[in-house]
Structure 1
Amino acid sequence: MPKAVVVNAKRTIIGKKDGLLKDYPPEQLAAFVIRELVQDLPTVVDDVILGNVVGPGGNIARLSALESGLPVSIPGVTIDRQCGSGLEAIRLACHLIQGGAGHVYIAGGVESTSQSPFQQRARFSPEWIGDPEMGIAAENVAEKYGITREMQDEYALLSYQRAIQALNAGHYRDELVKIPDIPIHDEGVNPKLNYDRMLRRLSPCFKEEGTVTLGNCCGINDGAAAVLIMSEEKAEELGFEPILRFVDSAVIGVDPNYPAFGPIPAVRHLLQKQSLQEKDIDLFEINEAFASKVVAFANELNIPYEKINRKGGAIALGHPYGASGAILVTRLFHEVQRKKANYTVSAIGIGGGIGMAILWESLR
């Protein structure tokens, strides 16, 4: 069976809603990334697979491929698995390569919350089961698993500190594509801000006497990210160096009232399938929609924070829904080139009660 490998990974900056990227529709954001990935590619891609959540519809992957200047023969398909869409796009591309459907794919995601035509989110679950707002769902997880405000703020502060350290060290530079007249700097990170003081001053924002604040959860954001995936045979033929090899993936449904719990059974199932344990994984990239999610993940799986999101995550940088899963893989792609790792995992919890995880083997 062919093996899928990631040979390049790029993203735009992550902009705030109505911020630096507000004038760019999603197809233009994605096009910046696509052009960067194909600029030295001596062959055509088989397909462009992009995740997107908040519109405007119309097969954004196809629109983005055309906007980027790719040949009209390259089709494009758009995936919607809510905030897991970008990771699902990558997962699908890897399985397509394994199945022999093609050899070269661009896969990732894009989101422009600034230009979304939707005023309210879609339904994630029937009301008779429960369809809480994501902030309330994060409170549900915190309450069920005994995660205090202090525990969430402690993790959030770590995310901010790591992001600032990565920014100062230039570690995001290799991930980013240039957009004319836009600073190459994620908009949500402010090295001058005292995040410790800010976290202590904030009040709960979703539930009276709750634990979730605007400081220990992600923002609403714009951005795009994608990876260039090939069969290992094609990468060798074209002279590309593989960095991550796809090993396996898992997707599992959970109670929609506790969607942040989703990555836990997904990772457990994935590792069991491969006869691995949590201690065998050197690095986890998990989407930080809420600190309660990451704290629960770390506690339930007995994973030290040293292995989780070492360069910061969505709490500090932002969460452009459809792109976030692809940002996780982009971060892994560049991080394993700086620090030796064997196995790594990208994981995400999804509205409606879904957990997804991908296991990668580092080839560096």
Structure 2
Amino acid sequence: MAENCVIVSAKRSPFGKYLGSLSEMEPLDVGVKVAEATLSAPGKNLKENIDQVFVGNCIPSAFETGSVTGRQIGLKLGMDVFTTTVDTACCSPLTALRMALWGMRLGELDSALVIGVEAMSRVPHSSRQLRTGVRIGEVKLPDPIFPINYPGYNSVAVDASDGAEKYDVSKRMLDTFAMGSHLKWADAMKEGKFDDEIVPIKVRKGRNEYLFSQDEMPRPNGNIALIQMLPTVFGAKSTTPGNAPGLNDGASAMVVMTEKKAKSLDLPILGTIVDQAGETDMPSGISWIPAKAIKKVLERNKITIDEIDLIEINEAFAAMPLVSTKILAGGDEQKWYG
């Protein structure tokens, strides 16, 4: 049986809004600052105890040197270990974590530093025409982040909306759930729940320098009436700026180890990763893919959904957690939304 894998340290930057506090900062530096804090968080420097670095990043063109992001971060950290950079879009950091866990469960690794970093504000417009020169006519500067879709398929906003419609999740439910997330964030912030995980970042805007220490995107003072007035986007029936994800800048990191390695270093164990799974579907299935992955892990470990106390699903769109949990509830409306 494979040895347990545990989390011994985890940190993140505050997340900046699009063109916000982190927009003028090289994302490589944000990733490095968060990684350094993560490596020193347990009260001892873990740099010498890391076997490999895994980085998830989906838009490398945001970096001044847009290639092998993981290698660049490893070098800036002064680490001479092997690095891996992976792009699976929004799932990139979780895929990086899965790869680290594979290495440990195969016995190849005892430890890993896992990082996720993005800077949507820094993604440049691009032109393939400039390489060979433009003899005549207009120069096109396409935007890699607008719209977000696979060629030949709908925008992800449309796919999320269609999934909600298929499972009879109303726009009001989407808006209400989204507003609830802002309020939950506000409560957690007031209670200091993020204090131990956020790494403040010193930023400069023009002549001003300040310490950026709080997420910029959440809107705790919003209200459901205003959210419901927002127009739908990209031709979607129910997706609006109020129940869809924003574009963000930031980084996160964690150190994972085999339980044996963590205990040998007398490190605190923040959590144990029992199992992991990756699932996908056609782009139109974006809202129910989390349910597929959760079912896969539960079945493999012979656990029922009723034995789970808390399910956390990335709210890329409000449709994801609502559709996926409705599927997991097996049609029991009270269990799902009661």
Matched, 1:27 2:28: yes
Give the corresponding residue for 2:6. 5
Considering only CA atoms, is the larger Rg found in Structure 1 or Structure 2? 2
Work out which of the residue numbers 163, 168, 189 in structure 1 matches 2:218: 189
Work out which of the residue numbers 225, 232, 235 in structure 2 matches 1:207: 235
Separation in 2, partners of 1:235, 1:273: 26
Question: Is contact 1:160-1:195 (8 Å) kept?
Answer: no
Matched, 1:45 2:45: no
Task: Map Cα deviations across residues 18-62 of structure 1 (whole Å, 9 max, x no partner).
Answer: 110011222111101110122222533111101001112311111
What secondary structure, in the 3-state scheme, does the structure 2 residue paired with 1:19 have? coil
Give the corresponding residue for 1:70. 78
Question: Cα gap change, 1:70/1:38 in structure 2, threshold over 3 Å: closer, same or farther?
Answer: farther
Across the aligned residues of Structure 1 and Structure 2, the Cα RMSD in angstroms comes to: 2.3
Task: Map Cα deviations across residues 118-149 of structure 1 (whole Å, 9 max, x no partner).
Answer: 5224986563xxx2111111111122111111
Work out which of the residue numbers 302, 321, 324 in structure 1 matches 2:329: 302
Structure 1 unmatched runs, 5+: 309-364
**Per-residue deviation at 1:65?**
1.9
TM (norm. structure 1) is 0.78
Structure 2 unmatched runs, 5+: 126-142, 203-209
Work out which of the residue numbers 132, 136, 140 in structure 1 matches 2:162: 140
Of 244-253 and 107-116, deviating more is: 244-253
Question: Is contact 1:15-1:188 (8 Å) kept?
Answer: yes
Give the corresponding residue for 2:17. 16
Separation in 2, partners of 1:97, 1:124: 34
Where does 1:1-364 land on structure 2 (aligned, <5 Å)? 1-39=2-40, 40-42=44-46, 43-56=48-61, 57-67=66-76, 69-71=77-79, 73-117=80-124, 119-121=143-145, 125=150, 127=152, 131-180=153-202, 181-191=210-220, 193-207=221-235, 210-302=237-329
Identity of matched residues, %: 29
Separation in 2, partners of 1:278, 1:70: 44
Question: Is contact 1:49-1:108 (8 Å) kept?
Answer: yes
Question: Is contact 1:55-1:117 (8 Å) kept?
Answer: no
Number of equivalenced pairs: 301
Separation in 2, partners of 1:152, 1:102: 42
Question: Is contact 1:26-1:112 (8 Å) kept?
Answer: yes
Separation in 1, partners of 2:49, 2:260: 16
**Per-residue deviation at 1:226?**
1.1
Question: Cα gap change, 1:295/1:123 in structure 2, threshold over 3 Å: closer, same or farther?
Answer: closer
**Per-residue deviation at 1:70?**
2.6
